[in-house]
A and B are shown apart, each in its own frame.
Chain A
Amino acid sequence: MTAAAGQWVLLSYRIPRQPSTLRITIWRKLDRLGVARLGDGLVALPADARTREQLDWIAQEIGEMGGAGTLWLASPGSLAQEQVIAEDMRRARAAEYRALIDQAQSAMRARPGERSRIAKRLQAELRRIGRRDFFPPAERDAARRAVDDLKTLVAQDAS
């Protein structure tokens, strides 16, 4: 990590309480992006062209459903604060990678056909987690290895 706190993009939003399906849609989208939740109706991501655009479109979508969303560019007041947020995000991704490793390891004992299906699913899941992994934890490499091991076994099943 660099010595100075980086740029973050913040989305401040309000969503109507009803219908709850709209709230859930937005929550799922934000989860998928791997946002840091800084408070009620305030989420953040490290700023780059992609994250800024993604949150901007979500802000618009919230507006279209009768809520309000504003996008901000900001840097944390201190490096220590940024590290706390980054650490939370890293822990969240680590938990996702660990769940994936567990699934890959149990799939080693599955039937070959099922094993092949699970390997494909986990490969896609690994890519999805990677897209929202801004501060990679040690578990990332272990997860890649677990999926690779599973794929090696699948290739042996096929030969």
Chain B
Amino acid sequence: MKWATRAGVHIDRAACAWLIRRRIDADAEFAFVDDPSRVPADAIPFDMRGVELGHHGGDCSFETVLRRYELTDPVLWKIAEIVHEADLDDERYDAPEAPGLDVIVRGLSMTCDDERVVELTGPLFDGLYEYHRRAFLLGRPPA
């Protein structure tokens, strides 16, 4: 399937792209557009103003995607808290990783194009997932 989002990928879009590929559509193709009117007709838009998979009721797009696709994995919801804070910084959650992740992805978006940012952040979120999966099983920070 095709998916579309705004160009100039940052944390919420990078995290959504990872989530889509890992849990919703393994063959997902992504288009990055400058204007909502440029979204291809056959693509599902995300993290754009006015679309279903965007910010709603104080949630960031990553949280919206989790709700929409009924993904209840607690590890994904832990990552959602980090993405939420890195994106919105509204202190709804305690996520000390967020400022660091925000800077890392913001820096990547300065040196790489959108395809590359999505490619590079994939393993980053895989690692974040594994860390929090182990933390969840252990009930404490692993290693």
Contact = CB atoms under 8 A, between A and B. Distances in A.
Contact of B10 (A53, A56, A131): A53
B56 A64 contact: yes
Identify whether the interface residues of A are mostly helix, strand, loop, or mixed.
Answer: helix
B124 to A, nearest CB: 20
A57 B10 contact: no
Contacts of A49: 8, 10, 109
A57 B49 contact: yes
Contacts of A32: 90
A89 interface: no
Contacts of A96: none
Chain B contact-residue range equals 10 to 19
A108 interface: no
Chain A contact-residue range equals 10 to 19
B50 A131 contact: no
A57 B57 CA distance: 11
Nearest to A127: B99
Contacts of A61: 55
B54 interface: yes
Contact of A57 (B8, B55, B99, B109): B55
Nearest to A131: B89
Interface string A48-83: 010001001101110110000000000000000000
Contacts of A59: 49
Interface in B62-102: 89-90, 99
Nearest to B50: A60
Contacts of B55: 57, 60-61
Contacts of A64: 56-57
Contact of A60 (B8, B10, B54, B109): B54
A111 B99 CA distance: 30
Contacts of A127: 99
Contacts of A131: 89
Given A57-B55, A63-B50, 6 more contacts: A32-B90, A49-B109, A60-B50, A61-B55, A64-B56, A64-B57
List of 10 A-B pairs having minimum Cβ-Cβ separation, nearest first:
A60-B49, A57-B55, A56-B49, A49-B8, A60-B50, A60-B55, A60-B54, A131-B89, A59-B49, A57-B49
10 contacts: A49-B10, A56-B49, A57-B49, A57-B54, A57-B55, A59-B49, A60-B54, A63-B50, A127-B99, A131-B89
